[in-house]
Amino acid sequence: MSQANMNDPLRFYGVEMKSRLLVGTAQYPSPAILGEALAASRAEIVTVSLRREAGGGRAGESFWGLVRSLGLRVLPNTAGCRTVKEAVATAQMARELFGTNWIKLEVVGEEDLLAPDVFGLVEAARILCDEGFDVFPYTTDDLVVADKLLDAGCKVLMPWGAPIGSGRGLNNLFALRAMRAHFPDIPLVIDAGLGAPSQAAHAFELGYDAVLLNTAIARAGDPVAMARAFAAACEAGRTAFLAQPMEPRDMAAPSTPVLGRAFS
Protein backbone atom coordinates (compact mmCIF):
# COMPACT_ATOMS: atom_id res chain seq x y z
CA MET A 1 0.00 0.00 0.00
CA SER A 2 1.45 3.34 -0.98
CA GLN A 3 1.44 6.19 1.46
CA ALA A 4 -0.68 9.24 0.80
CA ASN A 5 2.04 11.77 0.15
CA MET A 6 1.45 14.92 2.11
CA ASN A 7 4.29 16.63 0.32
CA ASP A 8 2.46 16.45 -2.96
CA PRO A 9 3.34 19.32 -5.25
CA LEU A 10 1.85 19.98 -8.65
CA ARG A 11 3.83 21.35 -11.57
CA PHE A 12 2.57 23.65 -14.30
CA TYR A 13 5.24 24.37 -16.89
CA GLY A 14 7.98 23.68 -14.39
CA VAL A 15 6.47 25.83 -11.65
CA GLU A 16 5.71 24.00 -8.45
CA MET A 17 2.37 24.68 -6.77
CA LYS A 18 1.12 23.52 -3.41
CA SER A 19 -2.48 24.57 -3.85
CA ARG A 20 -4.61 22.61 -6.28
CA LEU A 21 -7.38 25.15 -6.43
CA LEU A 22 -7.25 27.89 -9.08
CA VAL A 23 -9.72 30.73 -8.67
CA GLY A 24 -11.26 33.38 -10.92
CA THR A 25 -11.65 37.05 -10.05
CA ALA A 26 -14.98 38.01 -11.67
CA GLN A 27 -18.44 38.64 -10.23
CA TYR A 28 -17.49 39.19 -6.60
CA PRO A 29 -19.58 41.71 -4.61
CA SER A 30 -16.44 43.81 -4.19
CA PRO A 31 -12.66 43.61 -4.56
CA ALA A 32 -12.42 43.49 -0.76
CA ILE A 33 -14.49 40.31 -0.64
CA LEU A 34 -12.51 38.94 -3.57
CA GLY A 35 -9.32 39.44 -1.56
CA GLU A 36 -10.75 37.76 1.53
CA ALA A 37 -12.15 34.86 -0.50
CA LEU A 38 -8.83 34.28 -2.25
CA ALA A 39 -7.06 34.18 1.07
CA ALA A 40 -9.62 31.70 2.39
CA SER A 41 -9.27 29.53 -0.71
CA ARG A 42 -5.49 29.29 -0.16
CA ALA A 43 -5.19 29.46 -3.95
CA GLU A 44 -1.79 30.35 -5.38
CA ILE A 45 -3.04 31.07 -8.89
CA VAL A 46 -5.76 33.54 -9.88
CA THR A 47 -7.14 33.93 -13.35
CA VAL A 48 -8.05 37.37 -14.66
CA SER A 49 -10.00 38.25 -17.77
CA LEU A 50 -8.61 40.99 -19.92
CA ARG A 51 -10.69 41.48 -22.96
CA ARG A 52 -13.55 43.56 -21.67
CA GLU A 53 -11.79 45.18 -18.76
CA ALA A 54 -9.11 46.48 -21.09
CA GLY A 55 -11.61 48.80 -22.73
CA GLY A 56 -9.75 51.19 -24.99
CA GLY A 57 -6.34 50.37 -23.52
CA ARG A 58 -5.20 50.26 -19.92
CA ALA A 59 -8.47 51.50 -18.43
CA GLY A 60 -8.66 48.32 -16.35
CA GLU A 61 -5.46 49.19 -14.53
CA SER A 62 -7.12 50.02 -11.20
CA PHE A 63 -8.64 46.55 -10.92
CA TRP A 64 -5.61 44.72 -12.27
CA GLY A 65 -3.48 46.61 -9.78
CA LEU A 66 -5.69 45.28 -7.00
CA VAL A 67 -5.30 41.74 -8.33
CA ARG A 68 -1.53 42.12 -8.59
CA SER A 69 -1.40 43.45 -5.04
CA LEU A 70 -2.75 40.12 -3.77
CA GLY A 71 0.68 38.67 -4.51
CA LEU A 72 -0.60 35.52 -6.22
CA ARG A 73 0.55 34.13 -9.54
CA VAL A 74 -1.69 35.58 -12.24
CA LEU A 75 -3.00 33.37 -15.02
CA PRO A 76 -4.52 35.85 -17.48
CA ASN A 77 -7.33 34.48 -19.61
CA THR A 78 -8.85 35.21 -22.98
CA ALA A 79 -12.47 34.84 -21.84
CA GLY A 80 -14.97 36.27 -24.28
CA CYS A 81 -12.72 35.90 -27.34
CA ARG A 82 -14.53 34.41 -30.30
CA THR A 83 -11.80 34.18 -32.91
CA VAL A 84 -8.22 32.93 -33.05
CA LYS A 85 -7.02 36.42 -33.88
CA GLU A 86 -8.78 38.00 -30.89
CA ALA A 87 -7.50 35.33 -28.52
CA VAL A 88 -3.91 35.67 -29.74
CA ALA A 89 -4.02 39.47 -29.49
CA THR A 90 -5.48 39.27 -25.98
CA ALA A 91 -2.78 36.81 -24.93
CA GLN A 92 -0.09 39.14 -26.22
CA MET A 93 -1.58 42.06 -24.34
CA ALA A 94 -1.81 39.91 -21.19
CA ARG A 95 1.86 39.00 -21.43
CA GLU A 96 2.76 42.66 -21.52
CA LEU A 97 0.39 43.70 -18.71
CA PHE A 98 1.18 40.94 -16.25
CA GLY A 99 4.71 40.02 -17.29
CA THR A 100 3.89 36.32 -17.60
CA ASN A 101 4.03 33.73 -20.38
CA TRP A 102 1.10 31.92 -18.82
CA ILE A 103 -2.20 32.20 -20.62
CA LYS A 104 -5.51 30.45 -20.06
CA LEU A 105 -6.72 30.12 -23.60
CA GLU A 106 -10.44 30.33 -24.27
CA VAL A 107 -11.98 30.59 -27.72
CA VAL A 108 -15.77 30.64 -27.50
CA GLY A 109 -17.48 28.73 -30.28
CA GLU A 110 -21.06 28.66 -29.14
CA GLU A 111 -22.83 31.40 -27.26
CA ASP A 112 -25.45 29.54 -25.29
CA LEU A 113 -23.14 27.07 -23.59
CA LEU A 114 -20.00 29.17 -24.07
CA ALA A 115 -18.61 25.95 -25.52
CA PRO A 116 -14.99 26.01 -26.66
CA ASP A 117 -14.40 26.31 -30.40
CA VAL A 118 -11.98 23.40 -30.38
CA PHE A 119 -10.77 24.05 -33.92
CA GLY A 120 -9.93 27.65 -33.15
CA LEU A 121 -8.50 26.58 -29.80
CA VAL A 122 -5.99 24.20 -31.38
CA GLU A 123 -5.00 26.80 -33.96
CA ALA A 124 -4.56 29.55 -31.35
CA ALA A 125 -2.69 27.17 -29.04
CA ARG A 126 -0.23 26.35 -31.82
CA ILE A 127 0.42 30.04 -32.54
CA LEU A 128 0.87 30.92 -28.87
CA CYS A 129 3.06 27.92 -28.03
CA ASP A 130 5.27 28.86 -30.98
CA GLU A 131 5.51 32.37 -29.55
CA GLY A 132 6.78 31.00 -26.27
CA PHE A 133 3.56 31.11 -24.26
CA ASP A 134 2.74 28.49 -21.63
CA VAL A 135 -0.78 27.69 -22.73
CA PHE A 136 -3.54 26.41 -20.42
CA PRO A 137 -6.28 25.51 -22.92
CA TYR A 138 -9.92 25.49 -21.83
CA THR A 139 -11.22 22.52 -23.80
CA THR A 140 -13.94 19.90 -23.87
CA ASP A 141 -13.48 16.30 -22.76
CA ASP A 142 -12.74 15.19 -26.36
CA LEU A 143 -9.63 12.99 -26.52
CA VAL A 144 -8.78 13.82 -30.11
CA VAL A 145 -8.81 17.52 -29.41
CA ALA A 146 -6.72 16.91 -26.30
CA ASP A 147 -4.15 15.05 -28.40
CA LYS A 148 -3.96 17.89 -30.88
CA LEU A 149 -3.52 20.44 -28.11
CA LEU A 150 -0.58 18.45 -26.76
CA ASP A 151 0.73 18.24 -30.30
CA ALA A 152 0.51 22.01 -30.54
CA GLY A 153 2.76 22.31 -27.52
CA CYS A 154 0.40 22.52 -24.54
CA LYS A 155 1.68 20.81 -21.42
CA VAL A 156 -1.51 21.22 -19.41
CA LEU A 157 -5.11 20.38 -20.33
CA MET A 158 -8.16 22.00 -18.83
CA PRO A 159 -11.33 20.11 -19.78
CA TRP A 160 -14.69 21.40 -18.69
CA GLY A 161 -16.71 19.65 -16.01
CA ALA A 162 -19.80 21.40 -17.34
CA PRO A 163 -20.43 24.70 -19.16
CA ILE A 164 -19.00 27.85 -17.56
CA GLY A 165 -21.04 29.16 -14.66
CA SER A 166 -23.57 26.33 -14.86
CA GLY A 167 -22.72 24.73 -11.52
CA ARG A 168 -23.64 21.31 -12.89
CA GLY A 169 -20.53 19.51 -11.75
CA LEU A 170 -18.91 16.70 -13.71
CA ASN A 171 -21.27 16.15 -16.60
CA ASN A 172 -19.56 13.28 -18.39
CA LEU A 173 -17.78 11.02 -15.95
CA PHE A 174 -17.01 8.44 -18.58
CA ALA A 175 -15.19 10.95 -20.79
CA LEU A 176 -13.36 12.53 -17.87
CA ARG A 177 -12.18 9.10 -16.65
CA ALA A 178 -11.06 8.24 -20.16
CA MET A 179 -9.10 11.47 -20.38
CA ARG A 180 -7.32 10.77 -17.13
CA ALA A 181 -6.49 7.27 -18.30
CA HIS A 182 -5.23 8.48 -21.69
CA PHE A 183 -2.98 11.19 -20.34
CA PRO A 184 -1.56 9.85 -17.09
CA ASP A 185 1.40 12.23 -17.09
CA ILE A 186 -0.22 15.49 -18.19
CA PRO A 187 -1.50 17.86 -15.51
CA LEU A 188 -5.28 17.83 -15.92
CA VAL A 189 -7.40 20.62 -14.50
CA ILE A 190 -11.18 20.62 -14.34
CA ASP A 191 -12.00 24.10 -15.56
CA ALA A 192 -15.57 25.35 -15.30
CA GLY A 193 -18.91 23.94 -14.30
CA LEU A 194 -18.25 23.15 -10.66
CA GLY A 195 -20.96 24.39 -8.34
CA ALA A 196 -20.43 22.62 -5.03
CA PRO A 197 -17.36 21.55 -3.07
CA SER A 198 -18.44 17.88 -3.30
CA GLN A 199 -18.04 18.13 -7.07
CA ALA A 200 -14.51 19.45 -6.68
CA ALA A 201 -13.69 16.58 -4.33
CA HIS A 202 -15.08 14.17 -6.92
CA ALA A 203 -12.76 15.59 -9.60
CA PHE A 204 -9.78 14.84 -7.40
CA GLU A 205 -11.05 11.36 -6.59
CA LEU A 206 -11.02 10.69 -10.35
CA GLY A 207 -7.36 11.62 -10.33
CA TYR A 208 -7.55 15.14 -11.67
CA ASP A 209 -4.65 17.29 -10.60
CA ALA A 210 -6.43 20.58 -9.93
CA VAL A 211 -9.69 22.45 -10.37
CA LEU A 212 -10.39 25.99 -11.52
CA LEU A 213 -13.57 27.81 -10.60
CA ASN A 214 -15.07 31.24 -10.21
CA THR A 215 -18.86 31.53 -10.09
CA ALA A 216 -19.36 28.91 -7.37
CA ILE A 217 -17.37 31.06 -4.96
CA ALA A 218 -18.04 34.57 -6.26
CA ARG A 219 -21.83 34.19 -6.40
CA ALA A 220 -22.26 32.24 -3.19
CA GLY A 221 -24.19 33.98 -0.43
CA ASP A 222 -20.95 34.12 1.55
CA PRO A 223 -18.03 33.92 -0.89
CA VAL A 224 -15.39 33.81 1.85
CA ALA A 225 -16.95 30.82 3.61
CA MET A 226 -17.52 29.07 0.27
CA ALA A 227 -13.87 29.58 -0.66
CA ARG A 228 -12.91 27.92 2.60
CA ALA A 229 -15.29 25.03 1.85
CA PHE A 230 -13.75 24.50 -1.60
CA ALA A 231 -10.24 24.55 -0.17
CA ALA A 232 -11.23 21.84 2.30
CA ALA A 233 -12.97 19.79 -0.41
CA CYS A 234 -9.96 19.94 -2.71
CA GLU A 235 -7.73 18.74 0.07
CA ALA A 236 -10.18 15.97 0.96
CA GLY A 237 -10.50 14.83 -2.64
CA ARG A 238 -6.78 14.81 -3.33
CA THR A 239 -6.00 13.02 -0.09
CA ALA A 240 -8.69 10.45 -0.87
CA PHE A 241 -7.22 9.85 -4.32
CA LEU A 242 -3.75 9.30 -2.94
CA ALA A 243 -5.19 7.03 -0.25
CA GLN A 244 -6.65 4.79 -2.98
CA PRO A 245 -10.41 4.60 -2.46
CA MET A 246 -12.05 1.20 -2.37
CA GLU A 247 -13.81 -0.13 -5.43
CA PRO A 248 -17.61 -0.42 -5.29
CA ARG A 249 -18.87 -3.98 -4.91
CA ASP A 250 -22.04 -5.70 -5.99
CA MET A 251 -22.73 -7.30 -2.64
CA ALA A 252 -22.58 -6.32 0.95
CA ALA A 253 -19.33 -7.07 2.75
CA PRO A 254 -19.80 -7.04 6.49
CA SER A 255 -17.20 -5.26 8.55
CA THR A 256 -17.47 -7.89 11.23
CA PRO A 257 -17.37 -11.60 10.40
CA VAL A 258 -20.75 -13.38 10.54
CA LEU A 259 -19.36 -16.90 10.27
CA GLY A 260 -20.26 -19.02 13.25
CA ARG A 261 -23.07 -16.82 14.43
CA ALA A 262 -25.60 -18.95 16.24
CA PHE A 263 -29.00 -19.61 14.63
CA SER A 264 -28.16 -17.66 11.42
Tell the burial category of 53 from Cβ atoms under 10 Å away from its Cβ (0-12, 13-18, 19+): middle
Q: How many CB atoms lie within 10 A of CB 138?
A: 25
Cross-strand pairs, 22 = 45, 212
The reply to whether 222 sits near other proteins by the rule CB under 8 A is: yes
Residue among 61, 86, 131, 205 that touches other proteins (CB under 8 A): 61
Cite the active site residues.
104
Beta-sheet pairing, 158-159 with 134-139: parallel
The reply to whether 66 sits near other proteins by the rule CB under 8 A is: yes
Instruction: Find, among 136, 187, 138, 135, the residue nearest to 160 by Cα.
Output: 138
The reply to whether 113 sits near other proteins by the rule CB under 8 A is: no
**If residue 191 lies in a helix (H) or strand (E), which one and from where to where?**
strand 189-191
What binding mask, one character per residue, do residues 72-111 give for other proteins by CB under 8 A, x or -? ----------------------------------------
Scanning residues 10 to 29, which ones bind other proteins (CB under 8 A)? 29
The reply to whether 52 sits near other proteins by the rule CB under 8 A is: yes
The nearest distance, CB 215 to other proteins, in angstroms, is 8
**If residue 74 lies in a helix (H) or strand (E), which one and from where to where?**
strand 73-77
Beta-sheet pairing, 10-12 with 15-17: antiparallel
- In the complex with other proteins, the residue whose CB is nearer, 33 or 186, is 33
The reply to whether 224 sits near other proteins by the rule CB under 8 A is: yes
Q: Using CB under 8 A, list all residues that contact other proteins.
A: 29-33, 35, 52-56, 59-63, 66, 165, 221-222, 224-225
